[in-house]
């Protein structure tokens, strides 16, 4: 009897050790993917990155050198336009959700925002093409920015809402008790108290849209030269990476690596600094 028990216990212990080790292996494997990606990108991108990348225009295939200055400026234009459109709308919608919305309507808007957030980015591109590109008969930075702003609105709205709701009730009550109307309370007490969190979700949102490619493919299109204006086809870093990486030219691949390194650097710096603002490990809206 005793012998049966010990052999059974030995097996249970072995299973325990093996399975627990396996979970550790899973954790190591998943986390190391990030380092694998980073080091591969830094290695290849570092070889290809130089000052020309930031100051010169792309050259036609076969010519050595050149850069992606137009794509850097184009990305900045598109993301800036998307932020000007998306951040205020998202922020104000978030204020409504957290402070004013009646229960049922609030649920409906919240649910729709999550729905919009889950729409595949390529479908957002189709929508922006139908309502901006087709009527204008022109691919443009504006259309690209519009598409990206649609992705930014739900992220900002839900982020703003979440952090406003975390402001303690007593702070509101204090202001209200001093005779301030609701809107003064919100503008001078609640929003400033949630400032850090709201900023964080905005930075994360902008970082996310600045890496998006699919919504730009048939809205901003792309351009080998400087864009002639906001209503003209405009180059952007993500689309450049796509076209250059899939083209059969050796030198274009090098440019794609350099662009990838720059883009990922920007996105990761934004993400890390945003998460440093709020305490580490705090759950953030996805």
* Segment 1 to 20, residues that bind another protein, using CB under 8 A: 12-13, 15-16, 19-20
Q: How far is the CB of 152 from another protein (least distance, A)?
A: 12
Binding marks (x or -) toward another protein, 158..177, rule CB under 8 A? --------------------
Which residue carries 């883009």 as its tokens?
Answer: 263
For another protein, which stretch binds (CB under 8 A), given 60-68, 69-77, 90-98, 190-198? 90-98
Does 37 help bind another protein (rule: CB under 8 A)? Answer: yes
Helix axes 195-210, 141-165, angle to 10 degrees: 150
Cα-Cα-Cα-Cα dihedral sign, residues 4, 10, 13, 15: negative
Q: How far is the CB of 223 from another protein (least distance, A)?
A: 13
The pair of structure tokens assigned to 209 is 């849209």
Nearer to another protein, 20 or 228 (CB): 20
The pair of structure tokens assigned to 53 is 């990348």
Q: How far is the CB of 227 from another protein (least distance, A)?
A: 17
Does 273 help bind another protein (rule: CB under 8 A)? Answer: no
Nearer to another protein, 92 or 228 (CB): 92
Does 100 help bind another protein (rule: CB under 8 A)? Answer: yes
SS (H, E, C) the chain: CHHHHHHHHHHHHHHHHHHHHHHHHHHHHHHHHHHHHHHHHHHHHHHHCCHHHHHCCCCCCCCCCCCCHHHHHHHHHHHHHHHHHHHHHHHHHHHHHHHHCCHHHHHHHHHHHHHHHHCCHHHHHHHHHHHHHHHHCCCCHHHHHHHHHHHHHHHHHHHHHHHHHCCCHHHHHHHHHCCCCHHHHHHHHHHHHCHHHHHHHHHHHHHHHHCCCHHHCCCCCCCCCCCCCCCCCCCCHHHHHHHHHHCCCHHHHHHHHHHHHHHHHHHHHHHHHHHHHCCCCCCCCC
Nearer to another protein, 54 or 111 (CB): 111
Q: Which of residues 194-253 bind another protein (CB under 8 A)?
A: 204, 207-208, 211-214, 217-218, 221, 238, 241-242, 245-246, 253
Q: Which of residues 68-87 bind another protein (CB under 8 A)?
A: none
Does 154 help bind another protein (rule: CB under 8 A)? Answer: yes
CA-CA distance, 93 to 191, in Å (whole number)? 13
- Residue of 33, 50, 55, 273 that binds another protein (CB under 8 A): 33
Q: How far is the CB of 51 from another protein (least distance, A)?
A: 22
Binding residues for another protein, total number by CB under 8 A: 93
For another protein, which stretch binds (CB under 8 A), given 55-63, 162-170, 194-202, 257-265? 257-265
- Residue of 68, 97, 132, 152 that binds another protein (CB under 8 A): 97
- Residue of 49, 72, 93, 235 that binds another protein (CB under 8 A): 93
For another protein, which stretch binds (CB under 8 A), given 48-56, 75-83, 153-161, 162-170? 153-161
Residue 122 burial (CB count, 10 A):
13
Does 256 help bind another protein (rule: CB under 8 A)? Answer: yes
């Amino acid at each position: 009897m005793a012998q049966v028990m010990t052999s059974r216990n030995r097996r249970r212990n072995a299973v325990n050790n093996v399975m627990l080790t396996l979970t550790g292996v899973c954790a190591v494997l998943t986390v190391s993917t990030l380092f694998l990606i980073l080091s591969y990108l830094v290695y290849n991108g570092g070889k290809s990155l130089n000052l020309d990348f930031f100051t010169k225009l792309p050259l036609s295939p076969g010519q050595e050198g050149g850069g992606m200055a137009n794509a850097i400026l184009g990305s900045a234009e598109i993301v800036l336009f998307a932020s000007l459109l998306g951040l205020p709308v998202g922020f104000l919608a978030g204020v409504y959700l957290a402070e004013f919305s009646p229960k049922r309507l609030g649920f409906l808007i919240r649910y729709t925002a999550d729905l919009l957030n889950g729409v595949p980015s390529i479908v957002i591109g189709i929508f922006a093409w139908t309502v901006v590109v087709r009527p204008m008969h022109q691919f443009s930075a504006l259309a690209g920015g519009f598409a990206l702003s649609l992705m930014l609105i739900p992220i900002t709205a839900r982020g703003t809402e979440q952090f406003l709701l975390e402001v303690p009730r007593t702070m509101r009550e204090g202001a209200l008790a001093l005779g301030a109307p609701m809107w003064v309370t919100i503008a001078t007490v609640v929003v400033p108290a949630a400032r850090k969190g709201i900023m964080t979700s905005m930075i994360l949102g902008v970082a996310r849209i600045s890496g998006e490619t699919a919504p730009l493919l048939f809205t901003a299109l792309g351009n080998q030269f400087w864009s002639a204006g906001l209503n003209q086809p405009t180059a952007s870093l993500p689309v450049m990476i796509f076209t250059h990486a899939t083209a059969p030219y050796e030198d274009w691949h090098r440019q794609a690596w350099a662009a990838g390194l720059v883009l990922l650097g920007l996105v990761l710096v934004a993400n890390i600094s945003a998460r440093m603002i709020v305490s580490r490990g705090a759950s953030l809206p996805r």
